[in-house]
Structure 1
């Protein structure tokens, strides 16, 4: 029996009900864990349609992450005695520079960020024009192929068959797209070392899959959509507070005619601000509050901030109202540093570790990212220059004190003074009186 048949035999059917309803939100649970396999823990299409494509706050957070994350380039980095060294390139990196025909490194990173935000996981493998996958894809047209996360199943194995046993490990990934237009593709089974699996936020209810940052703030997203809908209805109803109109009549026909006339003449944003004229004993009373009285801006702004916090994006970076209220140049610089150091750099580190599966590094090196051309980090270059200036002063002082220049450079770079070695030579100021020998003019005696 083929490996793919053995791995998919006895597979249990699994699906989730429609996601985007409040009754569904608390039910995210561990429905994606099926005996010896794991799927993503949420409805991917529900997140895409219910949040990404229909909520401006979620879209802005993901876009802010994408725009910076996709700017990095990939290089090899030498490793010497466990310490990172200089960056260098080889022709093998062309696979990441052009991951698919007409594709770019930035597009690959943008897809990685989108899938991780919406599904918690990004999967990819190598294919070629001959229809080979994984390590067997060595022919013409070799390229990286994204695997839609909700069509991927992680297959687990342990000696006991228990997915929660300590010896459980990933043995394969099964990619199984649904039937489309009456056509069904055969499931493709790939071994663990043939798939790039990028999942920077772990799902505590699973062993190996990741979790979307949207999951903890689903209620906030739904509340933001509700407030936006409320604002829309406010303007549709005349951009005025709620009004109760009482009419002194017992005739139902007269009452209905008055209601229709009132709605026709006084409802809608184009009727806002007009003078209200009433007759036949009609009386109008305001019972609602306008957006200012409801403190609408702060109410919606608080939800925006909570969503941005889950995305690890400072509100001022995403352009949200609460962030802009307190924004100054200094605050923006601090927010930019927080976003770069606390969000983007960790994501880059996790991404290169995952991509190494598809592109094994040369001996003594690792795949790494090069952020030197990222415009968002340009101000950080000044900080780097200041650090290098301080390091240069330290190197000068240590060399003047008699330490070996090569060991000084290594110690300062590694921030480990235990690497210093001394030459045995000291500066003149440290010599005991009379121990030195001076050079005299010709014809004079040595003193």
Structure 2
């Protein structure tokens, strides 16, 4: 029983049957029957489950990205480096990746909208993925259109198997301008019409992604509290907290007057370290601690490191305090951190983005949409390493051929890392002559030139 069939059953006596035959049927189905929402995980359309991104995009964008320095710095580093690549097609020869090439079909990602660039597209993709866990795009009239993540619902249908449900299949997307329940006209989209970039999968959903900020919400709150504490420290004292005791004979009016004088002369950062003069039997007791005593910088630095770990950015790359201490600043450690950032964060993100865009970018047969990172400034050191690797591979290939193996089998063995693929020609030595043969051009004797036989 299809989606529209279930809608008909809900409208009547659940006995009539229909099937989805056109996109209009699907649009009518998802537009007419929305049965409720259960707190941000799933809801149902005509009795069918759907995955909705949690309503945290606005919260993350305002309280994290726009007002939290460490989060902004991490996202800025990710965006700037992630957006430095170009997209190309890559040939697949014998199932293995080969050369890169371009066609006119790449114009959709090279200029995704009038005045837009590949870098603009990639920045919005990683920004949506960082804040909402998902980035959705569709192609319309020769342009790429961004679908705001919290306005997109993933419509699912259960897989019926042996009388039960064996998971759920994705049957489409539903985009509502302004968000669900705001009166907008829902727009249905089929799976092959949407690029869905979700680099971190939500463990509680089948297809939906999760923001890397979700596991470190507590760190975000702690960082905000530390920022408020730091601000209040300078606003209220900028010195250790104190208790002032007055003589019992001091009247309430005198108390308020004396308190006003102390606050005006000693509260705030501009009055820090001024000498405090007391009279009338007043006594001062220090009850607080300063920032050095409570290791404020160390506590804040550890929180920043946890945020950096969740973002996949080593602290030294983004310039956090813990990453700039001690031996972290030497060239070897920075190089290792940069390589970790490239190999374990950037390359998987680029591969995922290319695979997601392949859904809406026409790809030539025998190839795949891929990324070209050769011009990324942050990976220039990798280019040197790659050149050394190519040199070593070339020397190995030369050694195989000089040993008498066929060039074709030597290339296959080198690519596969399997020496059993080598095929010998039966010839030996660098000259590759048959055993027992003589040199057709012997060296000259008695001053005479050698002649060919």
CA 1:419–1:191 in 2, change beyond 3 Å: closer, same or farther?
Answer: same
CA contact (8 A) 1:125 1:196 kept: yes
Residue 224 in 1 paired to residue 223 in 2? yes
By relative contact order (CA 8 Å, sep 6+), the higher-ranking structure is 1
Residue 76 in 1 paired to residue 65 in 2? no
User: What is the deviation of 1:13?
Assistant: 3.9
What is the rounded CA distance, in whole Å, between the counterparts of 2:397 and 2:215 in structure 1? 49
Residue 44 in 1 paired to residue 43 in 2? no
For each residue in 1:290-330, what CA deviation from the matched residue of structure 2 results, as whole angstroms up to 9, or x when unmatched? 11111111010011111111111101011100001132111
What is the rounded CA distance, in whole Å, between the counterparts of 2:362 and 2:250 in structure 1? 85
Residue correspondence of structure 1 range 223-372 to structure 2 within 5 A: 223-248=222-247, 249-325=249-325, 326-372=328-374
What is the rounded CA distance, in whole Å, between the counterparts of 2:229 and 2:430 in structure 1? 81
What is the rounded CA distance, in whole Å, between the counterparts of 1:421 and 1:159 in structure 2? 49
What is the rounded CA distance, in whole Å, between the counterparts of 1:168 and 1:179 in structure 2? 24
Aligned to 1:94: 107
Aligned to 1:202: 201
What is the rounded CA distance, in whole Å, between the counterparts of 2:179 and 2:306 in structure 1? 39
What is the rounded CA distance, in whole Å, between the counterparts of 1:399 and 1:370 in structure 2? 31
CA 1:49–1:13 in 2, change beyond 3 Å: closer, same or farther?
Answer: farther
User: What is the deviation of 1:428?
Assistant: 6.7
CA contact (8 A) 1:83 1:414 kept: no
CA contact (8 A) 1:41 1:211 kept: no
What is the rounded CA distance, in whole Å, between the counterparts of 1:197 and 1:428 in structure 2? 55
Residue 14 in 1 paired to residue 14 in 2? no
Residue 437 in 1 paired to residue 424 in 2? no
Report the 3-state secondary structure (helix = DSSP H, G, I; strand = E; otherwise coil) of the residue aligned with 1:75: strand
What is the rounded CA distance, in whole Å, between the counterparts of 2:422 and 2:128 in structure 1? 47
Aligned to 1:4: 27
Measured on the aligned residues, the alpha-carbon RMSD in Å equals 2.6
Q: Which runs of 5+ in 1 are unaligned?
A: 17-30, 129-141
Greater mean deviation of Cα atoms: 317-326 or 152-161: 152-161
CA 1:376–1:187 in 2, change beyond 3 Å: closer, same or farther?
Answer: same
Q: TM-score, normalised by structure 2?
A: 0.86
What is the rounded CA distance, in whole Å, between the counterparts of 1:160 and 1:388 in structure 2? 51
CA contact (8 A) 1:202 1:208 kept: yes
Work out the number of aligned pairs and report it: 416
User: What is the deviation of 1:43?
Assistant: 1.6
Q: Which runs of 5+ in 2 are unaligned?
A: 1-23
What is the rounded CA distance, in whole Å, between the counterparts of 1:425 and 1:431 in structure 2? 6
Aligned to 1:387: 389
CA 1:405–1:443 in 2, change beyond 3 Å: closer, same or farther?
Answer: closer
Aligned to 1:108: 121
User: What is the deviation of 1:422?
Assistant: 2.2
User: What is the deviation of 1:429?
Assistant: 9.3
What is the rounded CA distance, in whole Å, between the counterparts of 2:449 and 2:53 in structure 1? 91
What is the rounded CA distance, in whole Å, between the counterparts of 1:408 and 1:436 in structure 2? 25
What is the rounded CA distance, in whole Å, between the counterparts of 1:318 and 1:126 in structure 2? 35
User: What is the deviation of 1:367?
Assistant: 0.1
What is the rounded CA distance, in whole Å, between the counterparts of 2:330 and 2:416 in structure 1? 36
What is the rounded CA distance, in whole Å, between the counterparts of 1:278 and 1:443 in structure 2? 115
User: What is the deviation of 1:357?
Assistant: 0.7
CA contact (8 A) 1:238 1:270 kept: no
User: What is the deviation of 1:2?
Assistant: 3.0
Residue correspondence of structure 1 range 146-161 to structure 2 within 5 A: 146-160=146-160
Aligned to 1:397: 399
Aligned to 1:192: 191
What is the rounded CA distance, in whole Å, between the counterparts of 1:406 and 1:212 in structure 2? 47
Aligned to 2:166: 166
Aligned to 1:211: 210
